[in-house]
DNA sequence: AAACATTGCAACCGCTCTAAT
DNA sequence: CATTAGAGCGGTTGCAATGTT
């Protein structure tokens, strides 16, 4: 038996999200938390599939998202992690608070790839393009001439990344395959934390939890931050607008009572 | 100023993984 | 243990914005 589509294609809206839809989704999540995504559109009064809602939330609406280009440090970390993990964007994103896998993936494809190519580094293998054939036994980063490395320096100064790990495209190996096979050691704090559930941000000492400055929330009419996440909602309610904008709350409440 | 090319990002698609039954 | 449903991930696409001719 084939799998059912994640949502009924008929009557499901696609394409760019409107501010109205964003408000509904934000409101629903702030009120009810992230639960069953499949049920979210119905409960929130959206004509979207759950998958689309999840994507919109995680990639764009989440209040803890940073916006704007990646900083030098972040970019460096992405390069470094990509050398180890390959295209496992979610794992990479987990190391950069406020950044999404989609954002990092896009940044990689549009900026970093070109940057590395310019530096003569193969963005897939992280090995110098002109020397690749001869590089079987040496590590990527140390093989680069100092002048070409620019910011391209591993966060790890020793050879925690050994040549075996770099000799094959990382995306062909799953984490479980790599783990414990000598590609790295579980004793490596970075790698063990990467594979573990615990997320220990490496970057971002300067980043603060967004609050009222959150640009997008301001744009869609959400003026408060996450900590006081319902203040703006209460403001709307005080103004009597919730019927207009957040009618979904009642729908959600009703529906969750039924569940 | 207009036409065309390029870039960057949001969103979709299809697949895999995992938990529940 | 097999099947199913739901969530998550990575690749890809579409399109608006921007740059170039």
What pLDDT is attached to residue A217? 59
Q: How far is the CA of A33 from the C1' of B7 (A)?
A: 36
Q: How far is the CA of A16 from the C1' of C20 (A)?
A: 28
Q: pLDDT at position A214, please?
A: 54
Q: How confident is the model at residue A220, as a pLDDT? A: 60
pLDDT of A222 reads: 56
pLDDT at A259: 38
Q: What is the pLDDT of residue A160?
A: 40
Residue-wise pLDDT for A172-187, tens only, equals: 333 333 333 333 444 4
Q: Which of residues 1-30 of A touch strand B (CB under 7 A)?
A: 6, 13-17
| Residue A127: per-residue pLDDT | 76
CA A15 distance to own-chain centroid: 20
Q: Which residue ranges have CB below 7 A from strand C?
A: A 1, 3-4, 6, 35-39, 50-51, 54-55, 87-91, 101-102, 105-106, 109, 171
Nucleotide nearest A106, from its CA to each C1': B9
Q: Provide the pLDDT for residue A130.
A: 67
What residue ranges of chain A have pLDDT lower than 70? 1-10, 129-259
A 10 A CB-CB count for A174 gives 10
Span A131-170, pLDDT tens digits: 654 544 444 443 333 333 434 444 443 334 333 334 333 4
CA angle (A23, A229, A104) in 5-degree steps: 70
Structure tokens belonging to residue A56:
């919109």
Residue A118 is predicted with a pLDDT of 77
- Per-residue model confidence (pLDDT) at position A28: 86
Predicted pLDDT of residue A221? 59
Per the rule left: phi > 0, alpha: psi between -120 and 50, beta: everything else, A49 is: beta
Per-residue confidence (pLDDT) for residue A252, from 0 to 100: 40
Task: List the nucleotides on chain C closer than 7 A to a protein CB.
Answer: 3-12
Largest CA distance in chain A: 70
Backbone angles phi, psi at A114, to 5 degrees: -65, -40
**Facing residues of A121 across strands?**
A128
pLDDT the model gives residue A202:
54
């Amino acid at each position: 038996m084939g799998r059912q589509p994640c949502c009924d294609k008929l009557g499901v809206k696609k394409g760019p999200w409107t501010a109205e839809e964003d408000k509904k989704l934000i409101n629903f999540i702030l009120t009810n938390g992230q639960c069953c995504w499949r049920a979210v559109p119905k409960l929130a009064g959206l004509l979207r599939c759950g998958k689309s809602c999840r994507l919109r939330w995680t990639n764009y609406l989440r209040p803890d998202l940073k916006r704007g280009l990646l900083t030098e440090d972040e970019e460096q970390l992405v390069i470094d992690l990509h050398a180890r993990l390959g295209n496992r964007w979610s794992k990479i994103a987990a190391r950069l608070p406020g950044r999404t896998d989609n954002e990092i993936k896009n940044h990689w494809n549009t900026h970093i790839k070109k940057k590395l190519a310019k530096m003569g580094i193969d963005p897939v293998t992280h090995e110098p393009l002109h020397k690749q054939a001869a590089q079987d036994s040496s590590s990527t980063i140390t093989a680069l001439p100092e002048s070409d490395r620019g910011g391209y320096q591993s966060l790890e100064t020793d050879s925690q990344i050994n040549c075996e790990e770099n000799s094959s495209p990382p995306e062909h190996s799953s984490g479980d395959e790599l783990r414990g096979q000598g590609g790295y050691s579980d004793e490596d704090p970075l790698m063990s934390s990467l594979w573990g559930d615990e997320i220990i941000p490496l970057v971002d000492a300067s980043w603060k939890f967004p609050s009222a400055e959150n640009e997008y929330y301001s744009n869609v009419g959400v003026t408060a931050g996450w900590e006081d996440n319902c203040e703006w909602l209460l403001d709307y309610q005080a103004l009597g607008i919730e019927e207009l904008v957040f009618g979904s709350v009642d729908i959600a409440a009703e529906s969750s009572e039924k569940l």
